[in-house]
Amino acid sequence: MKNSNINITNTEVLSANWAKLSKITLEYTKEDGEVEVHKREVYDRGDGATILLFNKIKKSVVLIKQFRLPTYLNKNESGFLVEACAGVLEEEHPEECIKRETEEETGYELHDVKKIFQAYMSPGAVTEIIHFFVAEYDDEMKKGKGGGLASEHENIEVIELPFETAYNMIASGEIVDAKTIMLLQYAKINQLIN
C-alpha cells in the first residue's frame, strides 16, 4: 500500500548511462500535518542477486576477487574486493539470474539454490534490492573456468577458501563487501559448514 504522506512533485533524470540517476522532489506530510519538501538523488541500477557457494565435505566456500572503481575512489588503494558472486537481474527471476551469474563468474553450474532473504543494501540513495542465495557445490559441478564475460569487461579471479579462513577475513578487514559479510555470517549462524 502506497504511503499517503508522500507526494512526488518532480522527477528529473540527471543521468541515464549505465543506470539511472534521478533528482526527486517530494512533499512529506508529518504526523502533525506539517508538510516538508525534500530533494533527494536516487540511483536505480536494477535489482540483483548474490550467492554463497559452500562445500560441507571440504569445509570451503567459493568467492571471487574483482576491481571495484567506487571502492578505489574511497580509500581502497588496490580497488580489488573479495566478494560473493553476484549480478544484476536482467528481466529474469532472481534464481535464474544467480545460476547464470554463478556459471559466468565462477564456472560452477548450479541446479539447486536456496533463497535465504532479500535486503536493501543502501536505502538512502539506491533503489536496489539484493536477493540472497546459498548453494552447495562440488568439483564435478565445475563446467568452465569462470572469470566473467569479456564483453562486460569482467576480470574475475575465482577463489576457493576454507570457510573459517573466509570468515576470519571479515575481522581482518580483507572482506569488506556487505553482501559477502552477510552471507558468511548467515553460514556461520546457521552452521551450513560444520
Tens digits of residue pLDDT in 133-187: 999 999 999 988 777 766 666 778 999 999 999 999 999 999 999 999 999 999 9
According to the model, what pLDDT value does residue 123 have? 93
Mean pLDDT value across residues 89-113: 94
Distance CA 131, CA 96 (A): 11
Evaluate whether 45 touches 25 at the Cβ level (below 8 Å). Answer: no
How deeply is 183 buried, as exposed, middle or buried, from its count of CB atoms within 10 A (0-12, 13-18, 19+)? Answer: buried
Alpha-carbon gap, residue 147 to 156, rounded angstroms: 4
**Which domains does the chain carry?**
6-44 (no CATH), 48-189 (3.90.79.10)
The amino acid present at 20, given as its one-letter code, is K
Residue 85 — φ and ψ, nearest 5°?
A: -55, 140
Question: How much is the pLDDT for 144?
Answer: 82
Measured CA to CA, the distance from residue 101 to residue 85 in angstroms comes to 7
Does residue 26 register a pLDDT over 90? yes
Question: For the segment 60-74, what is each residue's pLDDT rounded down to a tens digit?
Answer: 999 999 999 899 999
Residue 151's pLDDT is 63
pTM: 0.91
Query: What is the rounded CA–CA span in Å between residue 34 and residue 172?
Result: 47
